[in-house]
Amino acid sequence: MNIYYDRKELIRNGPPINQKAADIAGQIDLESVRRLFKSKVSGVGLASADVPFDSFDWRSNDLMYTYKEIGEVYIPKNLCLMNGKQKYFFVYIDDALEVVSWPWNGLMTGSREKILHKNLVVSEAEFKPLLESFQALVDFLGLRKSAKEKYSSVKGLRIKKSSLEALISKIFQKNCDDQTEMTQLLNEAATDPVAFFAQHSELMEELEIEEPSNDLFKLLLCALLKQKGRLVVLDWKLDPPDVADAVTRLSDQKIKLSPVKDSRQSSSDLLKSANVQLAQHKQALAHIQLDSDSYNLIMVPLCDWNDITQLAKDCKLKIVLGEEG
C-alpha cells in the first residue's frame, strides 16, 4: 500500500517534535515490524479473528516517485490496517515509526499540501484497536518467534583464523587494508551465525543476506569479496562474453581472453578454455562452491593453488578450478 510523504522524514519529528505521537509509536514492537517487511507475503486478511482491523497490506521497500500533478513524493515502507470503514498506516522511516490516518480520497485533485496531509495518531483510545489488531497479525504470521527458536538448527563452525587470514591474502594476491577486520567478521559469522546476523543487521541488509544459516560464513565471504571486486557471480549457463568480462574484472593486469572458436561450448568447457589461456599469465579462475546455481569466480595465482585448496579445507570451504565447479 502506498502512502505519500513530502520528504523522507517522519511527521512527528516536527518541528515541533510531537512527543505524544512518539510515545504511541514506542508501544509497537519494532523488531516485529522489521520481520514483517522481510516476510514473503505483502498482505493478509484475518476475517476469522475478532479484531477491530482485519485486513493488512504492507510495502517492504521505499522509493522517491514523481507525479505530474503533485511533483516528487517519498513513498515509505509501511503497514496499512483496514476494516472496510477506516484505514491507518504504521509508517517506517530510518528505523523509526509513526501512526497516521490519511484522509486523501485517491484523486489527484487539489493542492499538494491537501493531498499529502495526514493526521498523527496521538490518542491512546484511537491507537488501542490498532495495536490489538497488529498484535493479532504478529501472532498469525509467527513474527514473535525468537531468533533462537526460529534458527535452532543453525550451528556454528570452528575454523582456523590464521588459515582464513592467509586465504584472504592469497585471493587478494596482496595485503588488503582491512584484511584483519574482514577476517574478524568472517570468524564471528562462522562461530555464531545467529548472533552475528542480529548484531550486524545493517550489513546483512546491505549485502542482501536475508537470514542466518549454516552457510552464513560462506555467503558473507563471497559477498565481501564481490563488494571489493575480487569475486564475480555468474549464472551456471555461461556465454563467452560473461567469462571474458569476468577475467578482465578480476585480473589486476586486465587480461583479455582470445575469442572462443565455438560459442556453443558448455560452461565447464568455457572455463577450462579460459584457464588454458590464463596459465600463460600464471593465473587461474577458481570457484567457491555454494548451494546455488551460480559460479562464484575468483582469480588466484597458479603457484598458490595447492596452498589455497588446503587453506580452504581448514576453513570448511571448497574451492575448485572453474571447470570443476
Domain-located, residue 284: yes
Domain-located, residue 156: no
Given this model, what pLDDT does residue 258 score? Answer: 81
pLDDT band of residue 145 (cuts 50, 70, 90) is low
Query: Of the candidates 91, 110, 145, which is a domain's last residue?
Result: 145
pLDDT band of residue 8 (cuts 50, 70, 90) is very high
Domain-located, residue 125: yes
Domain-located, residue 63: yes
* Same domain membership, residue 169 and residue 126: no
- Helical H segments across the chain, by residue range: 19-25, 30-37, 112-116, 124-141, 147-150, 161-172, 179-191, 193-199, 201-206, 216-227, 240-250, 267-278, 305-314
Rg (CA), the chain: 26
Q: What is the pLDDT of residues 29-60, one digit of tens each?
A: 998 999 999 988 899 999 878 899 999 999 99
* Same domain membership, residue 61 and residue 166: no
Q: What is the pLDDT of residues 229-240, one digit of tens each?
A: 999 999 888 888
Q: What is the pLDDT of residues 82-138, one digit of tens each?
A: 998 999 999 999 999 999 999 998 999 999 999 999 999 999 999 999 999 999 999
More confident residue, 89 or 145: 89
* Same domain membership, residue 200 and residue 116: no
pLDDT at 150 exceeding the cut of 60: yes
Domain count for the chain, please give it: 2
* Same domain membership, residue 189 and residue 134: no
Given this model, what pLDDT does residue 314 score? Answer: 93
* Same domain membership, residue 243 and residue 308: yes
Assign 60 to helix, strand or coil: coil
Stretch 7-24: mean pLDDT: 93
Distance in angstroms (rounded) separating the CA atoms of residues 272 and 234: 15
b/e burial code for range 223-251 (CB count within 10 A of at least 16 → b): bbbbeeebbbbbeeebebebbbebbeebb
* Same domain membership, residue 258 and residue 212: yes
Please tell me the pTM assigned to this model: 0.56
Domain-located, residue 28: yes
Range of the domain at 22: 11-145
Domain-located, residue 151: no
Chain mean pLDDT for the chain: 90
Query: Of the candidates 145, 179, 198, which is a domain's last residue?
Result: 145
Domain-located, residue 51: yes
* Same domain membership, residue 287 and residue 166: yes
* Same domain membership, residue 187 and residue 80: no
Query: Of the candidates 145, 177, 198, which is a domain's last residue?
Result: 145
* Same domain membership, residue 201 and residue 92: no
* Same domain membership, residue 133 and residue 41: yes
* Same domain membership, residue 266 and residue 174: yes
pLDDT at 325 exceeding the cut of 60: no
Domain-located, residue 313: yes
* Same domain membership, residue 16 and residue 137: yes
Distance in angstroms (rounded) separating the CA atoms of residues 52 and 136: 10
